[in-house]
Structure formats: C-alpha cells, structure tokens
Structure 1
Amino acid sequence: MCGIYGTTIAYSEDQVKQKLEITSFRGPDETGWEIYKNEGSKITFGHNRLSIIDLDPRSNQPMNYNSDIHIVFNGEIYNFKALKNQLKNKGYSFKTESDTEVICASYLEYGMDCANHFNGMFAFVIYDANKNILYGAKDRLGQKPFYYYLNGNQFEFASQISSIKLFNNNLSISEKSIQEYLTWNSIPSPNSIFNEVKKLEDGHWFIYNLANSDFKTHQYWDIDCSNNTIYKKSYKEATEELEELLTDAVKTRLVADVPVGIFLSGGVDSSLIAALAAKNNSEKIKTFSVKFNEEGFDESSYAKKVANHLNTDHYIIECDYNEGIDLIQNFCSYYDEPFADSSAIPSMLLAKHTKKKVTVALSGDGGDESFLGYRRYNWVKSKQTTYQIPYFIRNVLSSLLQNIPYKNNRFKNLSGFLKLKNIEEAYLKSITSPDVSWLERTYETDKVAELKYLFHNKKNIYERISDFDIKTYLSWDINTKVDRASMAYSLEARSPLLDYRVVEFAESLPSDFKFNGHNQKRILKDILYSHVPKQYFDRPKSGFSMPLGIWFRNELKDYVQSELSLDNLKSIPGIKPLEVQKLIKQHMNNDYSHHTMIWKLLILRQWLSKNASGLSIQ
C-alpha cells in the first residue's frame, strides 16, 4: 500500500520531491523516483512506499524488471504466489519476494489482459520502454485511487489529486463537480473537483502512447447485468461454498511481513471476518473498535462481546472529542477532494490508533452491497406497494400534502416522493438529497452513466439496487473513505468481502438467499452463527456514524455558525445562502435534523478556502 506518481511534464527534481512529499503519509518507509528518457520522451516515476510484503530495499519502487519494464504500484496482489509459480514454469525469473515483480512478468506474458489475472486491490502504471507506452490498470471494484491529468503530450498521474495540483497552473474548479458533490456527497467517477483531472474508472486499464499522445481506456471487468449466471444448487451448498470462498479471501489477506489486525465493529460483516481470521491464524488476532460516549452511537460493547468469544486481543479506542475536532478542522489535508461521509472521522480515529499496534487491518466493507444489508433495501420493500397506486392518485395526495402547514420538512419530502414515477426513482431520491430547497438548481441525476445498473428489467429491484450501490456508493464513497482514512496514518486496509470472487458469487445467488422476509444478509449471518452465538446480533442494524447532529447543536455550534456565516455561504457556488441559514436555524432549535447538509457545506467551505485561491470556477 503506497502512493504512486508519474509525469511527462518537465518538472524540476525539487518539484517532484514536493509532489511526493505532499502525500508521504501514504508511504513513509521509502520515497524514490526515477527519470526515463526514450525517443524524445521523458518520464518521471515516483513512489512513497509502505512496506508490507518483502521489507527488503530490493522491493523499493520505482522498480525495473528485465531492464525495459518499469513500474510504480499501489496495493496488493493477493494471488501473487500462485501467479509467480505459473510464471516460473513459463521461464520467468524473480529477484524479490514482492508482488510488484509478478505484475511486471504478468504484463510481459499476458499483455493488456494481465489485470484479469490479478486478485487484489491495485492501481499501477508500467512504462514499457520497447513499445514507448504507459500501461496502467485499476482493480475491479475501485479500492485503490488513480487520478490523471491529460493535455496533449502532458500526462500526469497520482494516487491523490493534491500531487497533481501542486505546480500545475492549468487547472480550474468544476462547477458541475460541486453540484455532483452536493447531490451524492462525493464526486462520481470519472470526474474530479478539477475540470482537467479525471479518475480512471474501476475495472479499467489504459494505454498512453508517448510517441503520439494517444490515450485510450478499456473496461476489463464489470457486473453481469444479464442475470445469466444464476446459482442452481441448494441453499446449504451455497452456504458451504461461500464459507470456503470467504475463508480463502481472509487467509490470503492475512499474508504480510508486518503485524495484521481486524477492524471489529460488532456487526455481522466485521464479526464474520474476525471469526474466520481467528480460526485460520495460529497467533492470537488483534481486533480494534471505536467507542463513543453519546447514547445511541456506541457499539463497542457488542464488539467486545464478539472479541471475548473469539478470544482476540481486543482494543477499544475511545473517541476523544478534541481529537475528533482536530480531524474535522484538518479534514481536507487527507481527503483532498470534497467528501461528505462523516463516518470518515471515526474511521480516521480507528486507523490512527490501530496503526500503533499493526500495519495491516482487515475490514468488513462490501457485505451490505453484495448481500443486501442496508436498511434502505428494507425501505424499498416497504414502499413498493405505494408505487403500485396509480400515478394520478399519488399526484393528488402529493398536492394535498403540499397545502398542509408544517414546521419541518417531513410532509414536503413525502409529497416529493409521491410525485415520482416508480420505486427506482424513489430509491435514487432517497440516497441523494430528498430536500433540495437549499440548492440553487437541482442536479440532474439522470446524467450518471451508472443508472444503467438500476433501470433495466433483467433483475428484480433488490439485485438492481445492489448492483447500482456497488458501482456508485461502494466505489465513490466507501472505498474512498477507507483508503484515505487508513492511508492518512500509513495503515493498509484489506476487505475480504471485496474479493471479486465473493462479489461474483453473491451476484449469482437467488435474492432470497440474501434477503428473506426481513432477514437481510441471510447467508452471511448463517455462516457467522456457526462461529459466534446468534443472540449477540439480535439488535437493529447500526451504521458506523458519529454524533455530529448533537455536536453541531452544542460543542460545535460556534464553529458551524462562524464557518457557515452568510458571507461565507455566499462564496459557495450552487446554493441559496438564506435558505441554508434557515435550515441551520431549524437544526440548532432541534426542530429538524440537517446535520448531513451542514457537514456537507462545512467540508466544501473548508476545501474551497484552502484550494480555490487563484483558480476559476467553471
């Protein structure tokens, strides 16, 4: 797990050093760079290394393989040992014990198709001196970030956008991306906060021809929307096969030359990962959870109960208010694009203190999307009958609700939902911004390419929203949150439930294997209950959140009112400052919770104040 950088732009050595230094927290163990010249081309590769596999300096990057192949790589290839043996049988030799060399040899053997052979989380770029091209790829589910700037023969890439921004005078802030952020809480791929910088999309590779500046991308993996791979065996057989898959996914992610631990929230997904890790590890596993003092936000007692049952070495990290405030006020130093998932703060606290004991931590991310675990899937089930009512009747009801005097937004939101055409549109509205009264104009969500996973008729509504969440919420939000939070403290986070084999298997399962009645994540739970008592989980699902709504009314009240003063609000494009102030007042009076909107605007205001100087918004 590291930070990568590369460019064809003629920056000075000192400038390259500074570009690497700005994200040195991603890889504090070694910083290196090399310059390659060929046929009039000049390419600089840079790398910040967090040493995980083969700690020897021989595995530092940029790495050269067979003199003509040069690479910078961020991530892990979990099946690298099996690939290495296959490649040895084909005549390839290796000088290190790292997975980086295996990527290079795989590229030479399989060409552009090499990414299909990797099971892992990765973003890498290879400079092939013979072909005078750059070839790069990103993992199937987008766990590792990859930004790039392309302007003719000027090509620049990095793990984080701040490295590209530094010394680049050709950037402008995207007004469209700000609108997307205000809608989705993050900026959807392939866009970034800058018009001129893009993200390489999940499951894609690219080629950049250094001779003629031709750039092309190709999608090598995607979710199967055709519904042609339906599992035909029994539920019992599916449970056994899934446990075998998950066990292998966990075991391969426990391989490291540094200490490994588990993020344990006490929920189904992390408890299952901890149980399989404890069962398949000869040493006592270290587990970590976060504790909040505010009622309704503390899950640490559940995590402790699971840890005791599994006999792990458990650490409870108490969320210190002052520590949390410091992270809030410096949030944009690590999340260098606007990003509004407030659970990033407890994620950072968890990573910060976990790093004191281990360098790698396994997480339970990915279970809700693949196995239908979010509460909103149950909401969809409960609302389907509403959208079977003829539209003209719902439209009349909506108009009646609009005329009812009310103190808050509940009736207004309900009225808006009744006017929507179908359950798909309702779902889309529920996960974006149900109340858009404070926006200057409504962002058109139908412009998002990923809607094709939601609006088709080859799967039922639950499978379609699962696919849509994998391609949007998981990619844009969860993976961004986990990568930045963990790398802020040089901690590698690995997610067994995001093993593409597990995702593909979940895709093939009948919906009732995953969501039966009101029993969500049914198959995962049944595997878990063979390791941990069922009664430990007889409680409502809880998200990984922090008490922002309470803090905004109390400890952070002055901060909110100062940062989101009328003058400061006027500097934020795309909003109605007076309407925002009205909603903030509602929140402070405890009439209605607008903590999501407040957090979103605090982060955007912070980002603009630190980054917008001298840049136009277009």
Structure 2
Amino acid sequence: MCGIAGCWEPQAGRDADALAALARRMGQTLHHRGPDDDGVFVEAAAGLALAHRRLAIIDLTPLGHQPMPSADARYVIVYNGEIYNFEEVRSELAARGHSFRGHSDTEVLLAAIVEWGIDGALSRCDGMFAFALWDRAERQLWLARDRVGKKPLYYGRTPHGLVFGSELKALLGHPRFEPEIDTDALTSLLRYDYIPAPRSIYREVRKLEAGHCVRFDEATLAGTGWPPSRPFWDAQARIRAALANPFGGSEEDALAALDELLRSAVRLRLHADVPVGLFLSGGTDSSLIAALAQRESAQPVQSFTIAFADRHDVDGAYARRIAAHLGTAHTEFRVSGADALAVVPRLPEIYDEPFADVSMVPSVLVAQLARRQVKVALSGDGGDELFFGYSRYLRALRNWRWHAYLPQGLRRLLGRWLVRGDLEIARTGGLRTIGMEMAAEDIDGIYLNRISRWRSPLRVVHGAEEPPTAYTARPLADAGLSPAQRMMSLDFLAYLPEDVLVKLDRSGMSVGLEARSPLLDSRVAEFAFSLPDAMRARESEPKHLLKALLRRYLPDELVDRPKAGFGAPVGSWLSGPLREWADDLLSEESLRRDNLLDASSVLRRWNAFKRGERKWHTHLWSVVMLQSWLAWQRDFRAARRSA
C-alpha cells in the first residue's frame, strides 16, 4: 500500500531537475502512506512528473521500487494497492512468454497492461488499487480506481495542466494549485457527513469514482472541461445482471457457496511478505473473517480490539471470548476517553477533507495500536451493506409499510403540512419526524430522511445548489429492486465507498497500515446481489446468512448478540471536554470568517444544544469538523507557501 502523486503540465516549461523537485515535494506530503521508500519519474519533454511513496507489503526488495517501467519501456506506473489474484495472472502471463525480475504485483499489473491493454488488464486484476499510468508512446495519462472504491484518487487543474494524488495534501503540495471551496459540496457534507464522488471539497478537484478509469491527453489538458471517466466494473450493471440471473438454490446451497467465496477471499488477503493481523470487534462480520482467517492459517492469527477503559464495554468481552474459541493471538488495547480526545485535533490532517463519521475516532485508535505489531489487517467492512445489517433499514421498512394505511395524496399533503417551517426540527422527534416520512414519495425518500443529518442544507450553506447523489438521482429505479435491495444498493454505491472505505483507508494509512476487506471481494458482492430477500434481507434476523455461516465456526451464544456500533460519544464530548474548543470553532466570528455557512442557523443549534437539547450534536459535529478542517487547511497552505 502506498501514496501516489504527480502532475502533467506540458506548457509549464520546467526542466528535469525542477520537475523532480516538484514531484518529491508532492510525494513527501504522503510520507505516512509510504514510509519505506520513495521515488520519482520525470519526462521533461512532456512536462510530466510522477511521485511514489512505498509501503512495502509484497516483494520487499528494490525490485518492487516505483515508479516502475514496463519491460518494453512503453509504460511507467505509480500504483497504490494490492492485486490479490496477481499470482494467477502472473502464471497466465508467463505462459504467454512474459518474464519477471521480481515478484511484486506491480510488475504483474504492468505486464498485464502490455499484454491485454488497460481494459483487459483491469478486467483480470481483482484487488484494491488506484494508479496513474503514463503511456510514453501515445503521450496519454491513465488514472484508475478499484472496483469497490477501497483506494482514493483525486485529480485537479492548475493553470498549466493536471495534478493528481492519493490525498488532497499531495495536490496542495503543488505551488500553482490554488483551489476554492466548493459550496455545493458542503451541502452534501451537512446532509451525509461526507462528500460523495465525483465532487470534492474543492471546485477544481474531482474524485475518481469507484470502478472507473479516465484518460488524459494534451487536447483534454488544453480544454476547460473534464474528460468523461468510464466504468470498467459497473456496480449498477452488476446488480442488474444479478437480478436477471438470481440465485436459485436452497439456503444450504447459498451457505456453501458463500463459505467457499469468503474462504477464497480471505486466503488471497492473507498473502503478504509482512505480518498480517485482523480487527476483531466481536460483531458478526469481523468474527466471521477471524474464523475464516484462522482456519486458513497454520499459525495463530493476530487479532486486535480496543476497549474503552472508562465505560462498560460489551464488545471487548465478546471479542475476548471469540478469540479464545478460535485460537487467535489476541491483543486488547484499553484506551481512555482522553486517548480518544487526543485524536480529535488531528482529524482534519488524517482525513484530508471535511469528514464527520463519528466512528473515525476509534478507527484511528485501533489502527494506531495494531500498527505496533502488524503492517496489514483484515477488516469486516461490507457486511452491513451487502447483507442487510443496519437498523436503519428496519426502521425505514417499518415506516414504508405504514404508508399503506393512508391514500398517497392525503399522506403527502399531511406530511407537507407537518414539516412546514424549520425542517431541522424533525431531528428532535415528534410530529415533524412523522411528517418527513409521510411526505416521501417512495422508499428512497424515506431512506434519504433516515440518513440525512441536516434535512435542508441549502438553508445553511450560502449560495449553494445541492448536487445530485445516488440517494437523490434514483439509480436503478427501473430495475425492480425490492425496498430492502434498494437501500442496500444505494449504500453500496455511495455510503460504502465515500464513507466506510474513506474511514478505513485514512485511519490505516495515517500510520502506514494496510487494511483489507474480504467481504468486499467483487465475487462476494456479486453473489450477494443475486440473493433473494428471504436469504439476504430477513427482517427477523439482519445479516441472517452471515450469522448462519458464522454458526459453523462459533457457538450460538457468541453469534446471537445485539449489534453494537463503533461510534464515539460526541454529544458528551461537545457538552464536556470539547466544549471550549467547539465554542471557539462555532463562534460567530469564526463562522463568518469564511462566510460559507449561515452563522445564525448554526448558532441557534449550538445554543440549544448547550441548553440541553442533545439531539443537535449530530448536526453540529459536521459543522465542527468543517470548521476544524478550514483552520487546518489555512495553516497547511500557508506553510506550503513559505516552504
């Protein structure tokens, strides 16, 4: 796992030394992602520079060094990720006459591109990755991001061309990159706690979408628009294909197929030339991954969990019992509230753009602690979105069924009357909450209400338009999905890559820890898409199929337990130890400094919260994270200018 960065500015007029210095400067901002090695490549005649920071996982020798040229010298790549099936692809390439100097997956990816082209290579290589590929013959630059969106990739414009990188820090490392805040994107942050691709916090920057690649040439660099990206693995198309060819076997057949798929996914992700461990929270997903990993390993697998010393921690107790039953080498890190609070000031630097998922704090803590012993950790992410794990799914379905008791016209009229005025009041419960649900046209509208923090962010962000997202554009509306399938699909398209996997990537890579998610193997995802609701979305037992499979490895008393979140008590923090810090960030002077938000709307909620209206902490946390990030990026950009 690594960090990549670079620029392509044909008209900037830099010589080779200047380009190399610029690339190193951009790459150095990503040192945390790749502390083991660094390298640059320049082609001065084209005005191109590539930078790489390496976290050595496969082939620890210098033969894995990047930027790496292809054997025929046509291509040069900077690559962040792991191709899990690289040995299989390598064997196929060897049979076609390719030879290899080392045994890195990077070299295999390059050879696959030489043999089959970009599309053919991407269709064969299954893993998590983001890369930039320079085609020296065609003078084209390709950017690509993995199928599910595990690894990030940003790209933006300078006055002379293109900059790109694993994180925004790398783009900010370019001296001519002076972006402006995208106020439209802020409406997404307030509603969802994150900014979905393809937008970013900056107007001049795009995030490459999951499963997509994009090609740049000198003509597109000279233009003002963005070249269209295209999918090489289209999640929507895969969902449609699964619906057209649903799984037709029994539940026992489904369990056997899922067991085989997950064991294969885990086996591939245990491969590394460095120590591998796993996160074990005690919940269904991480416990299943732990069970399968231990079964595939000849030695005890190292497992890690955190337990909060100053509160009753049920998860820690379950994790200990599960580890003992499976025989993992378990480490429990006991952390205090003070340990968690110490992370908060660093969140803007770690997460790189405004981000407000409250579980980002414990995610950083467990990554920091696991990194003391391992360089790679398996996680259970993906189970909720693929196998109906969120309680909000149940609540939305319940409310959707209530709609049937009133005629549509009357229901919507009554709903609009109940939610007149301040829509944010619906967050506090009562009739307005019911009204927001009644006014919804369909399950998409009900679910949007369930996942929204600010219900009307346009009233808070100055001069903004709310951009469409998967939750508002209604993708797959004609696909015949059930209400449960629709919610899971929307989360797979948006929440998973833009929140869950951002959290996993940034928390791990902030300390040079690679996180791998077997449940998000594309074969597992496509299998889940094909399952009927009776197996995949059973309301009486969320994650029914995963739990049924887990019972093959654990006794019932360790499987049948309530779901526990991996969050943080931000309400208590904001009213207690973080109150003075938040008071400063949410002061009228601070809010008016950037003039992005309506200060009166924010202050009204902050003052109500301080008077004891606890529900407002979910609204306020996103604003506090934005304000904290704005202060950080001002300091970061000022330091960059003076360097």
TM exceeding 0.5? yes
One-letter amino acid of the structure 1 residue matched with residue 258 of structure 2: L
Q: Residue 426 of structure 1 corresponds to which residue in structure 2?
A: 446
Q: What is the rounded CA distance, in whole Å, between the counterparts of 1:407 and 1:504 in structure 2?
A: 37
Q: Indicate how the Cα distance of structure 1 residues 302 and 590 shifts in structure 2: closer, same or farther if over 3 A, else same.
A: farther
- 2:27 is the counterpart of 1:20: yes
Q: What is the rounded CA distance, in whole Å, between the counterparts of 1:356 and 1:291 in structure 2?
A: 17
Q: What is the rounded CA distance, in whole Å, between the counterparts of 2:196 and 2:416 in structure 1?
A: 33
One-letter amino acid of the structure 1 residue matched with residue 340 of structure 2: G
- 2:344 is the counterpart of 1:328: yes
**Which residue, out of 101, 106, 113, partners 1:100?**
106
One-letter amino acid of the structure 2 residue matched with residue 481 of structure 1: K
- 2:73 is the counterpart of 1:58: no
* Cα displacement (A) at 1:533: 1.2
Task: Out of 297-306 and 584-593, give the one that drifted further.
Answer: 584-593
Note the alpha carbon deviations across 1:590-609, whole angstroms, 9 max, x for none.
33322222221111001112
Q: How does 1:521-532 map to 2 (within 5 A)?
A: 521-532=543-554
Q: What is the rounded CA distance, in whole Å, between the counterparts of 2:427 and 2:287 in structure 1?
A: 39
One-letter amino acid of the structure 1 residue matched with residue 487 of structure 2: I
- Any idea what SS the aligned residue of 2:351 has? coil
Percent identity, please: 34
One-letter amino acid of the structure 1 residue matched with residue 633 of structure 2: N
Given that 1:294 and 1:547 are in contact with CA atoms closer than 8 Å, whether structure 2 keeps it comes out as no
One-letter amino acid of the structure 2 residue matched with residue 409 of structure 1: T
Task: Out of 409-418 and 52-61, give the one that drifted further.
Answer: 409-418
Q: Residue 154 of structure 2 corresponds to which residue in structure 1?
A: 147
- 2:223 is the counterpart of 1:218: no
* Cα displacement (A) at 1:34: 1.6
Q: Indicate how the Cα distance of structure 1 residues 401 and 45 shifts in structure 2: closer, same or farther if over 3 A, else same.
A: closer
Q: Residue 641 of structure 2 corresponds to which residue in structure 1?
A: none
- Any idea what SS the aligned residue of 2:330 has? strand
**Which residue, out of 160, 163, 170, partners 1:156?**
163
One-letter amino acid of the structure 2 residue matched with residue 599 of structure 1: W
One-letter amino acid of the structure 2 residue matched with residue 448 of structure 1: T
Given that 1:453 and 1:467 are in contact with CA atoms closer than 8 Å, whether structure 2 keeps it comes out as no
Gaps of 5+ in 2: 639-643
* Cα displacement (A) at 1:471: 0.7
**Which residue, out of 54, 70, 79, partners 1:49?**
54
Q: What is the rounded CA distance, in whole Å, between the counterparts of 2:146 and 2:134 in structure 1?
A: 18
Q: Indicate how the Cα distance of structure 1 residues 283 and 404 shifts in structure 2: closer, same or farther if over 3 A, else same.
A: same
Task: Out of 491-500 and 424-433, give the one that drifted further.
Answer: 424-433
**Which residue, out of 131, 140, 154, partners 1:133?**
140
- Any idea what SS the aligned residue of 1:571 has? helix
Q: Residue 372 of structure 2 corresponds to which residue in structure 1?
A: 356
Q: What is the rounded CA distance, in whole Å, between the counterparts of 2:421 and 2:20 in structure 1?
A: 66
Given that 1:266 and 1:302 are in contact with CA atoms closer than 8 Å, whether structure 2 keeps it comes out as yes
* Cα displacement (A) at 1:572: 5.3
Q: What is the rounded CA distance, in whole Å, between the counterparts of 2:160 and 2:421 in structure 1?
A: 61
* Cα displacement (A) at 1:259: 0.4
- Any idea what SS the aligned residue of 2:156 has? strand
- Any idea what SS the aligned residue of 1:283 has? coil
Task: Out of 204-213 and 77-86, give the one that drifted further.
Answer: 204-213
Given that 1:149 and 1:155 are in contact with CA atoms closer than 8 Å, whether structure 2 keeps it comes out as yes
Q: What is the rounded CA distance, in whole Å, between the counterparts of 1:380 and 1:392 in structure 2?
A: 20
Q: What is the rounded CA distance, in whole Å, between the counterparts of 1:602 and 1:319 in structure 2?
A: 24
**Which residue, out of 335, 355, 369, partners 1:319?**
335
Q: What is the rounded CA distance, in whole Å, between the counterparts of 1:90 and 1:407 in structure 2?
A: 63
* Cα displacement (A) at 1:446: 7.1
Q: How does 1:484-499 map to 2 (within 5 A)?
A: 484-499=506-521
One-letter amino acid of the structure 1 residue matched with residue 428 of structure 2: N
- Any idea what SS the aligned residue of 1:545 has? coil
More helix as a share of residues: 2
Q: Residue 608 of structure 1 corresponds to which residue in structure 2?
A: 630
**Which residue, out of 605, 615, 618, partners 1:593?**
615
Q: Indicate how the Cα distance of structure 1 residues 441 and 44 shifts in structure 2: closer, same or farther if over 3 A, else same.
A: closer
Q: What is the rounded CA distance, in whole Å, between the counterparts of 1:69 and 1:438 in structure 2?
A: 46
Q: What is the rounded CA distance, in whole Å, between the counterparts of 1:217 and 1:408 in structure 2?
A: 37
- Any idea what SS the aligned residue of 2:141 has? strand
Note the alpha carbon deviations across 1:144-168, whole angstroms, 9 max, x for none.
0011124686122110011112223
Q: Residue 239 of structure 1 corresponds to which residue in structure 2?
A: 255
* Cα displacement (A) at 1:58: 1.5
Q: Indicate how the Cα distance of structure 1 residues 457 and 368 shifts in structure 2: closer, same or farther if over 3 A, else same.
A: same
Q: What is the rounded CA distance, in whole Å, between the counterparts of 2:562 and 2:318 in structure 1?
A: 12
Q: What is the rounded CA distance, in whole Å, between the counterparts of 1:533 and 1:97 in structure 2?
A: 41
Q: How does 1:548-559 map to 2 (within 5 A)?
A: 548-559=570-581
Q: Indicate how the Cα distance of structure 1 residues 301 and 168 shifts in structure 2: closer, same or farther if over 3 A, else same.
A: farther
- 2:502 is the counterpart of 1:480: yes
Task: Out of 298-307 and 74-83, give the one that drifted further.
Answer: 298-307
Q: What is the rounded CA distance, in whole Å, between the counterparts of 2:615 and 2:592 in structure 1?
A: 22
- Any idea what SS the aligned residue of 1:330 has? helix
Q: What is the rounded CA distance, in whole Å, between the counterparts of 1:259 and 1:116 in structure 2?
A: 29
Note the alpha carbon deviations across 1:562-603, whole angstroms, 9 max, x for none.
221222223354533233223223333333322222221111
* Cα displacement (A) at 1:537: 3.2
What is the Cα-based RMSD across aligned positions, in Å? 2.5
- Any idea what SS the aligned residue of 1:453 has? coil
* Cα displacement (A) at 1:73: 0.4
Q: Residue 74 of structure 1 corresponds to which residue in structure 2?
A: 80
Q: What is the rounded CA distance, in whole Å, between the counterparts of 1:80 and 1:294 in structure 2?
A: 45
Given that 1:438 and 1:579 are in contact with CA atoms closer than 8 Å, whether structure 2 keeps it comes out as no
* Cα displacement (A) at 1:251: 0.5
* Cα displacement (A) at 1:381: 2.1
Q: Indicate how the Cα distance of structure 1 residues 332 and 298 shifts in structure 2: closer, same or farther if over 3 A, else same.
A: farther
Gaps of 5+ in 1: none
Given that 2:187 and 2:457 are in contact with CA atoms closer than 8 Å, whether structure 1 keeps it comes out as no
